[in-house]
Amino acid sequence: MELNYVSPKKDSTLLHSRHRVNLDFVFTSYIGEGGRYQIFLVVILACNALCSAGIYMDILWVADPKPHWCALPKNASQAWKNLSQEQRLDLTIPWVEKDGKLSRESCTMFDLNYTSNDMDYITRVHNNSAARKCESWEFDMSEFNGTIVEKWSMVCDKRILIATSQSVSLAANPVGAILGGLLTDRFGRRKITLIASILPIPFRVLAIFAPNLTLYMACMFIVCAGYMATYISTVVLGVEIVGPSYRYLPGLLGPMMWSAGAVVSVGLAYFIRERITLQLALTAPLLFFLSYICLIPGMLLIHYFILKYM
């Protein structure tokens, strides 16, 4: 591992000589390959995967296609509203056979007179009525409530939007990886790490409270691309901080931290069954990235050595 270094004169106005520095030799002979401070920095940098794992995991719960059925029309009479949920389902939702099993239809309902109060008549004729498409839906909230599927009615004809929302992170990852690699080489590891890790935080909060699906997906694209760029830049930065014998650590710790973050996310989702609360809980660890402003050195150890001793 070598570095072309231009050594300045004492007045720092002219460049007069060029040295080729063997970085591995500098680490092994002068700085040390893996001191406590170097290992501390590598671990701190790897923690980005621990903190951001929940951002990628939460789509498994917030976009989960839950059981649903047609809701009563808005102009339904009080007699309909007084029925229990099971009674309403029996009178309004047809049964269909799917994969050899009977289940309630989720996209159509019986075309009945929902403004009528004569429930005895409705009970006699509902099975012979035609079906019509749902105007709105009710969702099973026994396990989780407030999903984006429920919020934006991503069911039936709009069911494809579930896969679209779930694929946002997959589309953002290569964009973040490519831009992260290019920008860190162009503008420096520390600067891009700080921007890519801190800038997505407000976009994440905006996504949680987004009024429509388009804004939600746009914000999540920025967030996922940012944290993929952060992952790339922190791995490279970690490799440059330690000597040859310890350069496996950044590449090893990253996936391990991400796996730990995924496990923690599952635990949070088990105990928190409401979307906004869960997403805020998974977003809170991102505030750890603010510490990077103080913890990540402005100048790598090797560059400091060169400027001081060459």
**What does the pLDDT average to over 226-240?**
88
Tokens of 284: 């809170």
pLDDT the model gives residue 11? 40
Least confident of 154-158, 191-195, 293-297: 293-297
pLDDT at 85: 81
Q: Residue 274 above 70 pLDDT?
A: yes
| pTM summary value | 0.80
- For the record, the structure tokens of 141 come out as 């909230």
> Is pLDDT of 26 > 80?
no
pLDDT at residue 74 above 70? yes
Q: What's residue 264's pLDDT?
A: 93
Residue range 253-273, pLDDT digits in tens: 888 999 999 999 999 999 998
Q: Is pLDDT above 70 for 309? A: no
Q: What is the pLDDT of residue 278?
A: 92
- Could you say which DSSP state residue 245 is in? G
The pLDDT value recorded for residue 4 is 47
d(CA 183, CA 42): 21
Arithmetic mean of pLDDT, 180-198: 86
Looking at the predicted structure, is the pLDDT value of residue 17 above 80? Answer: no
CB 219 within 8 A of CB 207: yes
Per residue in 86-125, pLDDT (tens digit) is 888 888 888 887 777 788 888 888 887 788 777 777 777 7
In the structure, what pLDDT confidence band is assigned to residue 218 with cuts at 50, 70 and 90? very high
Mean per-residue pLDDT, 206-229: 93
First to last CA, the chain: 17
Q: Stretch 203-231: mean pLDDT, rounded? A: 93
Mean pLDDT to the nearest integer, 234-240:
85
Q: Among residues 178, 197, 185, 200, which one has the least CA distance to residue 237?
A: 185
Residue 135 three-state SS: coil
Report the chain's mean pLDDT, rounded to a whole number: 81
Whether the pLDDT of residue 129 is over 80: the answer is no
33-63+165-309 topology per CATH:
Growth Hormone; Chain: A; (1.20.1250)
Stretch 171-190: mean pLDDT, rounded? Answer: 87
Contact between residue 68 and residue 144 where contact means Cβ atoms under 8 Å apart: no
Q: What is the residue extent of each domain of the chain?
A: 33-63+165-309, 68-139
Residue 205 predicted with pLDDT over 50: yes
Residue type, 42: V
Per-residue pLDDT band for 22 (boundaries 50, 70, 90) equals low
pLDDT band with cut points at 50, 70 and 90 for residue 24:
confident
Contact assessment for residue 104 and residue 93, using Cβ atoms and an 8 Å cutoff: yes
Counting DSSP H helices and E strands in the chain, the numbers are 16, 8
More confident residue, 173 or 10: 173
% of the chain exceeding 90 in pLDDT: 19
